[in-house]
Amino acid sequence: MITLHDLHEEGTDGVTDAVLAFGARHPLKPGQSDAEPDWAHAERHFTRLIEVIMGEAAPPQLDDSRDGLVRRAENEARQLLLTLNTVPGYRCPICVKQRRPLT
């Protein structure tokens, strides 16, 4: 599965900026605006994002193979990072989901 590091290394189409912004949403010291990113935490959330997309949003009829499903989910996660990067002050969707109260 693709990682944030892999995306950063691509360095194309604003992906690098989107990866850095996603990392900034996961500071080592929450509450400090200038805190360094917690890349391990951000990486876990990016992987979880791919898994959620793969399990819930990927249409299985397009490609029966597991590899095809993973590639589509990775591409959708990449696109989501690029889209979120245009939204000022966005929150990581996985962080938001984890903090949602149980009903």
The reply to whether the predicted model has a pTM over 0.95 is no
59 against 85, higher pLDDT? 85
Q: What is the DSSP string of the chain?
A: ---HHHHHHH--TTHHHHHHHHHHTSBSSTT-TTPPB-HHHHHHHHHHHHHHIIIIIS-GGG--SHHHHHHHHHHHHHHHHHHHTTSTT---HHHHHHHSPP-
pLDDT tens-place string over residues 27-59: 988 777 678 999 999 999 999 999 999 886 545
pLDDT (tens digit, 9 = 90+) per residue, 17-28? Answer: 999 999 999 998
Domain ranges of the chain: 4-99
The confidence band for 103, taking pLDDT boundaries of 50, 70 and 90, is very low
